[in-house]
Amino acid sequence: MLIVGLNGSPNDDGNTSLLLNKALVAAEDDGAETKLISAAESLSELAKPYCTACSHPCSADCYQDTALEEQYQLLAEADGLLVGSPVYFGTVSAQLKSFWDMTRNLRQEQGLLNTVGGALAIGAARFGGQETTLKAIHDMMLVQGMIVVGDGDSESDSGHQGAAGRIMAADDSEAQERAEIIGRRVAKVAKATSELR
């Protein structure tokens, strides 16, 4: 079982990364293999790091033979996906949005169909747009046909829509705990739904 963490932050080693790593360690404790990838790093080789809908259906020519193509192949192999983003004006970062907009080829190939997804968001304030950011991540996952998880039972309460934290994440023990819970929950549901992929 492979669980991938997608860091939607422009920073590879910041608050979002910290929470994603907590979630991935929890998934590993449940028996999963894990990998962490960076949206910003994946886009860095592209002349235009955003989708222009240049072909219908998507030919994937714009990112052929780049790190982004490798990352999309990894997503297609994953059983579960943990997507994290900082809150930027109440929604996901530009890097995450651009990364996801360019998954059109994955969608037409049904590469993420029935992949289990969980979301994490971190803002500058306790009530700083985390839930709207989590909802945006869920919407992106639903368009791909993913299985989206959020709150669980009393022993697996990650938060209604996923793990939400505030900066500095290293000082937010509740966010770290919720990140671990969403990591375990994605692994658990991925294991239970493996026959669908």
State the pLDDT at residue 158: 59
Place of tokens 């026959």: 195
Three-class secondary structure of residue 145 per DSSP: coil
Q: Which pLDDT belongs to residue 100?
A: 97
Helix H or strand E encompassing 165: strand 163-166
Q: pTM here?
A: 0.93
Distance CA 62, CA 43 (A): 11
Please give the average pLDDT of every successive group of 10 residues along the chain, which has 197 residues. Answer: 97 96 96 97 92 85 91 97 97 97 94 97 92 97 96 63 88 91 94 94
Domains of the chain (ranges; CATH) run 2-196 (3.40.50.360)
Residue pair 195/51 in contact (Cβ under 8 Å)? The answer is: no
Residue 161: the pLDDT is 77
